[in-house]
Amino acid sequence: MIVLDTNVLSELVRATPDTRVLTWLDALPVAETATTAVTVAELHHGVARLPDGRRRVALHHAVRAMLDDDFRGRVEPFDRHAARAYAHVVADRERLGRPISVADAQIAAICRARGATLATRNTKDFKDTGIELIDPWQVRRAGSPVAGPGSSSGSRASVISRARPAARAMPASRVQQSTADPAPVPP
């Protein structure tokens, strides 16, 4: 399973999403991707902190449609297994002198508890958490990652910490269709 981090899902609701991310997602099986309850909270928080107006309403609809339609049944919770993994993620990073935010530690713990790969642009934030990472912004085409910042080669291992089978996310065409949800913005 590949878990999509907040920055990957945020990219999908941008007015002009990065084509590298869309291409990468289009090449992956939808059923093998998921996100986390933490990411859902971060997305809703991002919308809630915007000033009232059209942009907030549009983003609310886009986020809600994406989560309700494209990720129904594929939002991984922070459960007791993740809570146990969380303790190790935080302690490991503390021992390295590299504290981690609560939200990032929870996302890493959910991935670690499920043996999932995390797709994120912020790979440095998740380094040394015991999970596999992939940066969709650094992939030439599906299955062909390129070296990320600070890496010395274009090998698969330079973008993905440890090799994992490829998975798929929602087609980009569904992202564009999902922005028409007429639900009201909650207070």
CA angle 175, 176, 182 (to 5 degrees): 95
| Alpha carbon distance 33, 111 (integer Å) | 12
Q: Which residues are annotated as a binding site for Mg(2+)?
A: 5, 104
What sign for the dihedral angle of Cα 162, 19, 70, 9? positive
Helix (H, G, I), strand (E, B) or coil at 140: strand
| Alpha carbon distance 8, 85 (integer Å) | 23
Q: Which residues are annotated as a binding site?
A: 5, 104
CB contact at 8 A, 106 and 86: yes
